[in-house]
Amino acid sequence: MDILNKIKQKAKKIDARIVLPEANLDERVYNACKTLLNKNLCKIVVFGKKEQFDKDFYTPNCQIIEIDKFNRLNEFAEQLFELRKLKGLTLKQAKALVKQPDYFTMMLLKNNLADGAVAGACWTTANTLRPALQIVKTKPNKSIVTGAMLMLKEGKKPLVFGDVSLIENPTAENLAEIAISCAEFYKKVIGQPKVAMLSYSTKGSASSDMVAKVQQAVKLAQNKSKFLIDGEMQADSALNKQTALKKGVTSGVAGSANVLIFPDLNAGNIGYKLVSRLAGYAAIGPIMLNFNKPVNDLSRGCTVQEIINTVLLTKIFI
């Protein structure tokens, strides 16, 4: 778990304001906020009436906003209307939306009044991420946001899995971008990435539209980046050198892959849960990559410690 400690130490040094919009709705988020403040880990922004929070929250490191009384609500509504009017949003609808904590959070980020957000202890993934996708949007050089999972186990090399949480049925272009984004993430927090694009086929052992999509994604990803990326290959070829050799795959990736790219969201989401439940890896994330400002989604089953970890990870992307 050295990696997690390294990330935490790095994150502690970053000065950032993270919005936790569910602090007044969920006891776990409330308690996580208290720890973040008491241990001086992060500046936070929460919503609600001042009297809903105890004295630990009354510090310059915490901003408590009562949304209904926020003095820039009309300006936020105008901005949201401008942003979404071509999608059919009316000014009346925008005025109602900016009073919702999910949309209000993203408007704070858009206006540089906060640096990142962590939500989803009460809300579904779709409800947490839809306003972020609509308002915060992707970095200029990226076309998609993707959810990566950091998989950690004592004595084993760290792994990154993608996409595990967002893009249901990625195109070949999406898969290539997922691969490059996950490789960038691995490089940022761990070291040299070796990316395997997974399939049920290894180097043409089967042929179908599903396999062809992964093959095309491999070519696109290799052309667009200098990272070590190879495929299509089965998971055993990606992780075991002997199996890879038996199947005739001799790249620098086969047998020693540390970034695994799954062909769709069913495979990615099931894959990380199996590795977590059956092999005892800690699954850290999903970490949403490529937002203009970091927004991360919690699992509704999250613990206080997981919320704190997610806040610290979020700071790494500021």
Ligand X SMILES: CC(C)(COP(=O)(O)OP(=O)(O)OC[C@H]1O[C@@H](n2cnc3c(N)ncnc32)[C@H](O)[C@@H]1OP(=O)(O)O)[C@@H](O)C(=O)NCCC(=O)NCCS
Contacts with ligand X by CB under 6 A lie at 87, 125-126, 129-130, 133-134, 138, 144-145, 165-168, 269
> What is the closest distance, in whole angstroms, from the C-beta atom of residue 243 to ligand X in the complex?
30
Residue 14 or 133: the one with the smaller Cβ distance to ligand X is 133
Nearest approach, Cβ of residue 205 and ligand X (Å)? 30
The nearer residue to ligand X, 149 or 211, going by C-beta atoms, is 149
User: Cβ atoms within 10 A of the Cβ of 166, count?
Assistant: 24
Instruction: Determine whether 171 is exposed, middle or buried from the number of CB atoms within 10 Å of its CB (0-12, 13-18, 19+).
Output: middle
Minimum separation from the CB atom of position 246 to ligand X (A): 34
- Please identify, using beta-carbon distances, which residue of 48 and 170 lies nearer to ligand X: 170
Name the residue whose CB lies closest to ligand X: 133
- What is the smallest separation between the CB atom of 42 and ligand X, expressed in angstroms? 24
The tokens describing 33, both together, are 């906020």
- The smaller minimum CB distance to ligand X, of residues 100 and 138, is found at 138
Taking the least distance from each CB to ligand X, the nearer of 48 and 285 is 285
Least spacing, CB of residue 163 vs ligand X, in Å: 8
**Whose Cβ is closer to ligand X: residue 55's or residue 87's?**
87
| CB nearer ligand X, residue 167 or residue 229 | 167
Closest CA to 220 of 177, 160, 167, 170: 177
Q: DSSP letters of the chain?
A: -HHHHHHHHHHHTS--EEE-TTTTT-HHHHHHHHHHHHTT--EEEEES-GGGS-GGG-STTEEEE-GGG-TTHHHHHHHHHHHHGGGT--HHHHHHHTTSHHHHHHHHHHTTS-SEEEE-SSS-HHHHHHHIIIII-B-TT-S--EEEEEEE-TTS--EEEE-SSS-SS--HHHHHHHHHHHHHHHHHHTS--EEEEE-SSSTTSS-SHHHHHHHHHHHHHHHH--SEEEEEE-HHHHH-HHHHHHTT--SSSTT---EEE-SSHHHHHHHHHHHHHHH--EEEEEEEESBSS-EEE--TT--HHHHHHHHHHHHHT-
CB of 104 to ligand X, least distance (A): 18
Report the residue number, 8 or 84, with the smaller CB distance to ligand X: 84
The least distance separating ligand X from the CB of residue 99, rounded to whole angstroms, comes to: 20
Q: How far is the CB of 241 from ligand X (least distance, A)?
A: 32
